[in-house]
Chain A
Amino acid sequence: MERLTNRAKAVERKPMTFLESLYLWNIAKGMGITLKHFFKKKATISYPEQKREFSPVFRGLHVLNRDEEGRENCTACGLCAVACPAEAITMEAAERLPGEENLYREEKYAAKYEINMLRCIFCGLCEEACPKDAIYLSETFAPANYQRQTFIYGKPDLLIPHPKEEPELYAKAAGGRVVVKTGN
């Protein structure tokens, strides 16, 4: 039979000599290896103080985006909810009233927008489905909690901070990936 690789090694099955059967040399070799690891750099990251950097494509908690003037982008079209394979998104639409033009970007907006973070699989399909750049997956993940109810995130939890009133918080939440739409 032809060999696939030349890395195969024949197994030695000759009986151990008396000195070998005392295992002393092999034990000493093994102890050398563990001692080397004793002084090695530790692989652990002390979590709450130190955090591991996320990869640039990491998909974390969602943010609902605003435009540069702080108006909500979402028009409650429901495409994200349709795209969601885990059916984690619910929303209720409402019509913009006169005088609310500084709050909502278009005539229709989401009066209620909820994501169940226990159902969500963080696939990012909602982000892809959104025609208005209204939903993004950020670089944070959902903190642990004791009650299931707390994992249903409503609009106050999801909305990005106002870009003009709280520019620092906004920049932090937006990270490097949120696209800001300008003009109409």
Chain B
Amino acid sequence: MLLAIDWLLLLEKLVLIVIIVSVSLVIAMYETYAERKIAAFMQDRRGPNRAGPFGLLQPLADGGKLFFKEEIIPNTSNKFLFILGPCLAMMTAMMTSAVIPWGGTVAVFGRSVSLQIADINIGILFVFGVVSMGVYGIMIGGWASNNKFSLLAALRGASQMISYELAMGLSLIALLMMTGSLRLSVIVDQQMTSGVWNVVYQPLGFLIFLVCAFAECNRTPFDLPEAENELNFGYHQEYSSMKLGFYLFAEYINMFISSVIMATLYFGGYDIPFVNEAALIAKGNNWIQWIGPLVLIIKVGFFIFLFMWVRWTIPRFRYDQLMNLGWKKLIPLALLNMVLTGALVLWLKK
């Protein structure tokens, strides 16, 4: 029985997991740096520039600071849940990267290795399932702190995430009607072979998805759960040291992952624009498969910049405005988009 297991496959996947987890951690780390730099630049400042060249060691200094801060667990909190909260937030943030196709199939030591940890047939559903579990991190953290402000902020956050997941799901349904598959690798493949990215067919759907992604990641203008300046930080008010760091870090990983998802679903994933990869690979240019992941990272970089650009432009929504936008604007628009897409797909197929 044991011999039947493909040990090399297991090793290959393990190495891939380690690489992807560390890459997303490093990217999240440098997102904090980028955030501070971009914020500074947009406010005509210079941003962190003392730690290392151009302040590049700043994230390390920040991390070191968080590790050495005093660890405070409130007396009246539920200790188990208090610790579980940030762990959950971090875990759900990391889990989604498992189903994302980071690239095609590359040859390593004579083995063809797929740059996707798990090519499951419900890929995008898995992402949605895990992402909606992220709300537990917030809820548990806010509830376990035994603090009114934290609890209220957690409730705010939970209702926001649930409301925007609806519109997000609806805009996604329209996309899935066109692709006909939930498998992320198939969605990317279709865009690569046709050469036209899904955003061309689904501009409205992408816009709704983008807005909802901002809300899902608790980014400005939807960062009510953690309104830093006027609502006492929200659900992680009682947290300190690296537990707070985990919450903040999970947000940056979420931002990275949702950028990857947007790039994959609407912007062709690891597809190199204006290049016919299949023809090149047929001629024996296998190295092109190594470019794919880099292209994906560039697309992701653009989305991350967009996240930050919006954050430092737009002020926060009021809570009723937030709910109005979610339920009265985005959901009807997403429904309209869905119906239109469905009708067009049927009409074109006939």
Q: Which residues of A contact B (CB under 8 A)?
A: 18, 21-22, 24, 27, 30-31, 33-35, 37-38, 40-44, 46
Question: CA–CA, A35 to B44, complex, Å?
Answer: 11
**Cross-chain contact A35 with B310 (CB below 8 angstroms):** no
Question: CA–CA, A78 to B79, complex, Å?
Answer: 68
**Cross-chain contact B43 with A27 (CB below 8 angstroms):** no
**Cross-chain contact B44 with A27 (CB below 8 angstroms):** no
In the complex, besides A31-B313, A38-B41, 20 extra interface pairs with C-beta distance below 8 angstroms are: A22-B329, A24-B207, A27-B310, A27-B313, A27-B314, A30-B313, A33-B313, A34-B42, A34-B309, A34-B313, A35-B42, A37-B41, A37-B44, A38-B38, A42-B44, A42-B45, A43-B45, A44-B45, A44-B46, A46-B49
Number of residues on chain B facing chain A (CB within 8 A): 16
**Cross-chain contact A30 with B314 (CB below 8 angstroms):** yes
Question: CA–CA, A42 to B41, complex, Å?
Answer: 8
A45 CB to closest chain B CB (Å) equals 10
**B312 located at the interface, meaning its Cβ lies under 8 Å from any Cβ of chain A in the complex:** yes
Q: What 0/1 readout, one digit per residue, does chain B (218-252) give for beta carbons within 8 Å of chain A?
A: 00000000000000000000000000000000000
Chain A: which residue is nearest B43 at the CB level? A37
Chain A: which residue is nearest B332 at the CB level? A18
Question: CA–CA, A46 to B54, complex, Å?
Answer: 13
Contacts of A35 in B (CB 8 A): 42, 309
**Cross-chain contact A42 with B309 (CB below 8 angstroms):** no
B303 CB to closest chain A CB (Å) equals 14
Question: CA–CA, A128 to B313, complex, Å?
Answer: 51
Question: CA–CA, A168 to B255, complex, Å?
Answer: 59
Other-chain contact of B329, A21, A34, A38 (Cβ < 8 Å): A21
Contacts of A27 in B (CB 8 A): 310, 313-314
